[in-house]
Amino acid sequence: MGNGANISNSREILERLSRQGSVGTGETSVVTSPGARVAAWAVKVKSLSSYNVYNVRAVVIGDAGTLPVEIGGQMEAVNMAESFLEDGQLSAGTYAIMFRVGDKNVFYVPV
């Protein structure tokens, strides 16, 4: 029985390596189920990076009457409400909801 398990495990490893291909980008899988949701965070805009890409930090929303607390490091996010060809006009200190779309962070805040 132990030998059969080793053969099965070896087959899985070989299949995974063959799917990886010569590019070496690794294996990607997505699992969805009823009730699955998109990850979203409350963020605070720290500065403009370039065009409509901003530096943001995640925030934790506390009780009513308290300021949100910044957590984690800065990351880049794209404001989908602005042109991709011109510099963004969003003010630092603006709060937004950021979503993960593919490998990009995005939010929508009209200026």
CA triple 20-21-27, angle to 5 deg: 20
Strand partners, 107: 79
- Please report the pLDDT score of residue 11 as a whole number: 72
Per-residue pLDDT tens over the stretch 70-105: 999 999 999 999 999 999 999 999 999 999 888 899
78 close to 69: Cβ distance less than 8 angstroms:
no
* Predicted confidence (pLDDT) at residue 58 exceeds the cutoff of 90: yes
- Please report the pLDDT score of residue 94 as a whole number: 96
Identify whether 83 is part of a domain: yes
Quote the domain boundaries for residue 71. 40-107
How many domains, the chain? 1
Identify whether 30 is part of a domain: no
Model-wide pTM > 0.85: no
Largest CA distance in the chain: 65
Listed in sequence order, the residues at least 6 apart from 13 whose beta carbon sits closer than 8 Å to its beta carbon are none
Identify whether 100 is part of a domain: yes
